[in-house]
Amino acid sequence: MSPSTPDLVPYDEALSRYEPVLGLEVHVELSTASKMFCGCPTGFGAEPNTQVCPVCLGLPGALPVMNAEALDAVIRIGLALGCDIAPWCRFARKNYFYPDMPKNFQISQYDEPIAYGGSLDVMIDTDDGPQTFTVGIERAHMEEDTGKSLHVGGATGRIHGAQHSLVDYNRAGIPLIEIVTKPVPGLGKYVPELARAYVGELRDILRSLDVSDVRMEQGSLRCDVNVSIAPVGAAEWGKRTETKNVNSLRSVERAVRYEIGRQAAVLDAGGTVKQETRHWQEGSGTTAPGRSKEEAEDYRYFPEPDLVPIAPTPERVEELRGTLPELPRALRVRLLGEWQLSPLDMQALINAGAVDLVVATVAAGAPPADARKWWLGELARAANETGTELSALPVTPAQVARVVELVADGALNDKLARQVLEGVLAGEGEPDEIVAARGLAVVSDEGALGKAVDAAIAGNPDVAGKIRDGKIAAAGALVGAVMKATRGQADAARVRDLLLERLGPPE
């Protein structure tokens, strides 16, 4: 840690003296085939500067034309968040110089957003059990993404200390929707959990709308975390910092927690919190200062003269409302009934980001209880170990359903099934291929099992004697010996039957 890093006040202590306020800005890249104002493709990972044209490079005289698909998408997002849709609104120019922004302004919306005034209900665990909080949505507006700078030669990947910088304009002009919450006060110590749950819930909604890949690790969903704190009982909220670069749900939670501790230390030392942009640093789990935050007037916003106003008719808005899918919250209420879950069970699924995965696994044929068991057990463990989210694991719901089926058929037991999933995660192929390649089938061949059972009896005459004398409980030790000899591949119930057959049934 650099010497200028202030000490952190421990979280609980900070919360005993300060009241935090949260605000979240989520940017979502739409998955439209073409960019916001030109026909360039939007695919991720192409060679730098191959998906560009005069419009998205901001060449003189090039004129933007609005992407109709993007408009439909933002209206559907607004409706799903309970927003009003503006009957008439315009784009605005947000002027600032940035090397990855070729026009030196960004086409955005300012005081006339397409959607405004919604809310989102978010459920989190509290000391009193699962509880729902309503987060106000200030607005959802349209803008274009910027290009990407790559700073080469420094230790941090940031411009300071870099030897040179490269710019890739492939991303410039990709449709971006910014969804901004109202300030959320009154959450106390639950602020970090709520921030994480909000972004997770919003991501699920966007996924169900099929408007974006919502992949935080690729930047198609990005979150800026605004946090302020003020002494408990103070009349005014504190100055907020806006932390950028937060690219996983876990980091959202950590960044909020860190900022509360850091700001508390600044205030405790008699300082003031600067209103500024900060950067999340995944490695150290800290935030570092960026530019001090511009006020709106610094951007010299004015209506974009090259684009006509947007005026969706009420009929069109209603038509789009008709295309909304069952939203995650409604889906969960339905599943509670259909799967006979307790609210706690459901909360566990939500916390693990497993609802959609379990739904898909059930759709692929697995019973809900089995689907839950594998996603929340073995697979959640694997995700934790690698620090990834469940949905990012290289295993599909169909593969999990197949493993469940193999267990149900008796071809695998749970222990072998775990090894099969391990193989899937290691990229060894489909479950059936792994069973064959690793030789994982349950040994239920009577001849082979019988031999193993006989060997176990011969090797443990004392235990065998006890069982003959009626101490059935001792059978467990012999079952264990057979399982060991067959490297876990025996069908344990069958082994027990065979043992008892040989050693005489109880009176």
Return the residues of window 23-62 that contact Mg ion according to CB under 5 A: 25
Of 304 and 389, the one with the shorter C-beta distance to ligand ADP is: 304
CB of 444 to ligand ADP, least distance (A): 60
Burial class of 348 by CB neighbour count within 10 A (0 to 12, 13 to 18, 19+): middle
56 in contact with Zn ion (CB under 5 A): yes
User: Considering the rule CB under 6 A, would residue 276 count as an interface residue with ligand ADP?
Assistant: no
Q: Which does 368 bind (CB under 5 to 8 A by kind): Mg ion, Zn ion, ligand ADP, none?
A: none
Residue (69 or 138) nearer to ligand ADP, CB: 138
Q: What does 158 interact with, of Zn ion, Mg ion, ligand ADP, none (CB < 5 to 8 A by kind)?
A: none
**What is the pairing mode between strands 276-281 and 241-246?**
parallel
- Taking alpha carbons only, the member of 273, 281, 314, 268 closest to residue 86 is 314
- Measured between alpha carbons, how far is 325 from 206 in angstroms, rounded to an integer? 11
Report the alpha-carbon distance of residue 262 to residue 241 in Å, rounded: 11
Residue of the chain from 228, 286, 351, 413 that contacts ligand ADP (CB under 6 A): 228
Which CB, 137 or 346, lies closer to ligand ADP? 137
Amino acid symbol at 340 = Q
Q: Does 279 bind ligand ADP (CB under 6 A)?
A: no
Using left for φ > 0, alpha for ψ between -120 and 50, and beta otherwise, residue 320 falls in alpha
Site track for ligand ADP across 1-40, x = CB under 6 A: --------------------xxxxx---------------
Tokens of 260: 């509360």
The one of Zn ion, Mg ion, ligand ADP, none whose footprint includes residue 56, by CB under 5 to 8 A per kind, is: Zn ion
Residue 111's CB: how many other CB atoms inside 10 A?
12
Report in angstroms how near the CB of residue 20 gets to ligand ADP at its nearest.
Answer: 8
Q: Does 182 bind ligand ADP (CB under 6 A)?
A: yes
Residue 240 sits in the site that holds ligand ADP (CB under 6 A): yes
- Determine whether 26 is exposed, middle or buried from the number of CB atoms within 10 Å of its CB (0-12, 13-18, 19+): buried
CA distance 35 to 468: 78
Q: Which of 311, 75, 308, 293 is nearest to 175 (CA)?
A: 75
Judge contact between 136 and 123, C-beta under 8 A. no
Rule CB under 6 A: which of 198-227 touch ligand ADP?
Answer: 226-227
Q: Which of 359, 364, 361 is nearest to 336 (CA)?
A: 359
Stretch that binds Mg ion, among 19-27, 62-70, 205-213, 273-281 (CB under 5 A): 19-27
| Residue number, nearest CB to Mg ion | 25
Tokens coding 236? 């005014």
Part of the chain binding ligand ADP (CB under 6 A), chosen from 140-148, 175-183, 325-333, 367-375: 175-183
Cα separation, 273 vs 299, in Å, equals: 23
> Least distance in Å: CB of 118 to ligand ADP?
13
Interface residue with ligand ADP, options 48, 58, 82, 183 (CB under 6 A): 183
Dist. CA 12–CA 14, nearest whole Å: 5
**Distance of closest approach, residue 239 Cβ to Mg ion, in angstroms:** 16
Q: Give contact residues for Zn ion (rule: CB under 5 A).
A: 38, 40, 53, 55-56
Q: Give contact residues for ligand ADP (rule: CB under 6 A).
A: 21-25, 138, 180-183, 226-228, 237, 240, 242, 293
